Structure 1
Amino acid sequence: MLHAFFLAWLGVVAAQASPGPNMFAVAETALGRGRGRALLVVSGIASGTLVWALLTALGLGALFAAVPAFLVLLKFVGGLYLLYIGVRGLIGAARGLDPRLLARAAPLSAFAAWRRGFLVVMTNPKAALMWIAIATFLFGSGLGNGHVLAFGPVVAVSALVIYGGYGLLFSTPLATRAYNRFWRWIGAAFGAAFSGLGLTLLTSGLRDLRP
């Protein structure tokens, strides 16, 4: 059991450390809203991880396999959400809306920061596919639903460490000074990244709808 857990965990750590919606959400929040709010986004991501583990243990993977339309729907929901974040960032950069001024005018509440991380991970089809792969691997190693459920806290802890590290990195004085100088370009880059991810998911969903 420990061998299977370790191998699955290594794959998850590699996925978490690579650039993607989760990392972008943490980095954007750290630069524009500060370390505290970024770490709350991280806690939302970790919470979403626990939910994915629970859903997978309850048979979500089998549901996606039996009814592929559910995964297609998730691609559209996730794609639209990421595209919304991206377009909003691009518009702000184009209009010269400094996120620091917006943050003072409309502070991001603790719950809103947590919700941002939670929604990003829960609407990401890659998270669903990752958990299906984890379940398949663990089940294939002779483990059961309880083991898949127990794997959730392991992944949540690594999410806290990895994304928390990103939150700390992007809220350092050096990163803050760079953001203060180039915030418009950085905002445009994040907007383009989120928009690109969203369009990729929407395109994938449209391809899945083709007969």
Structure 2
Amino acid sequence: MSELMLYGPGVLLVYTGFMLGIMSPGPNILAVMGTSMQVGRRQGCALALGVATGSFLWGGLTVSGLSAALAVYADLLIVIKVLGGLFLLWLAYKAFRSAAQRLEIKTQGLQENGLFRFYMRGLLIQMTNPKAAFSWIAIISLGMQPQAPLWVGVAIILGTGGLSIVGHMAYAYAFSTAPMVRLYARARRVIQAGFGLFFTFAGLKLLSSRL
């Protein structure tokens, strides 16, 4: 039996599980949606690329075994968890502040010069979530078998990285369309309050959860 027939189904199973994860709304996806509606497509795409980069890094760490090693060092994961929870609470504060404004906060400077800032925000959202490490361990275990050749790990990293870019970019494009922008303009305060509630819940849950 060829290696492709032996390991190919497992790699496809990894891709399927990863796509199902992208379809499930989380802090990363909601951040892309909110940025695209509130600020613009370019900023939403920059944030989506940051999230995708984080997915690529977590995939590489998992395949190389480093994220599994992190699971042994609880102190380091606690630091990551605290940083992630505080970052989500900061996003909640930003959303609530926007909801409290009668008029939208001016974002001209960010629109013109802040693409890297949005990219880093997406990267931080993905990399400061310790659950991402455990999710990747679960996903990789679907396709990585003992003594699997190098190309299997490479295919998983590159494939899921590409899917992450396409998936998160799709959210950025979809939620920066004219109908979505009009919806945001009409219900901005309600939408931002909803984002604030979600990020607060996610942040507090992360800070209070056990690793």
| TM-score over 0.5 for the pair | yes
1:103 to 107, 118, 122: 107
Which amino acid is 2:56 matched to?
A: L
| TM-score, structure 2 normalization | 0.87
Residues 135 and 106 of structure 1: is their aligned pair in 2 closer, same or farther, counting only changes over 3 Å?
closer
- One-letter amino acid of the structure 2 residue matched with residue 200 of structure 1: K
Q: Deviations over 1:134-161 (max 9, x none)?
A: 3333333642566334412211211122
Distance 1:106 1:52 in 2: 28
Partner Cα separation in structure 1 for residue 150 and residue 129 of structure 2: 22
- Alpha-carbon shift at residue 192 of structure 1 (Å): 1.2
| TM-score, structure 1 normalization | 0.87
Please state whether the residue corresponding to 2:37 is helix, strand or coil. Answer: helix
The answer (yes or no) to whether the contact 2:10–2:144 under 8 Å persists in 1 is: no
Identity of counterpart residues, as a percentage?
33
Aligned residues: 204
Q: Is the 8 A contact 2:32 2:47 kept in 1?
A: yes
Which residues of structure 2 form unaligned runs of 5+?
Answer: 1-6
CA distance in 1: counterparts of 2:45 and 2:194, whole angstroms: 21
Gaps (5+ residues) in structure 1?
none
Amino acid at match of 1:47: T
1:143 equivalent in structure 2: 148
Cα distance, 1:55–1:177 mapped onto 2, change above 3 Å: same
Query: Residues 56 and 148 of structure 1 are in contact (CA less than 8 Å); yes or no, is this contact kept in structure 2?
Result: no
Is 1:39 the equivalent of 2:59?
no
Deviations 1:159-179 (A, max 9, x none): 122111111111111111111
1:1-211 alignment runs, 5 A limit: 1-96=7-102, 98-99=104-105, 102-104=106-108, 106-107=110-111, 109-140=114-145, 142-143=147-148, 147-204=152-209, 207-208=210-211
Post-superposition Cα deviations, 1:83-118, rounded to whole Å, max 9, x if no partner, equal: 11112211231243514xx21255461111111111
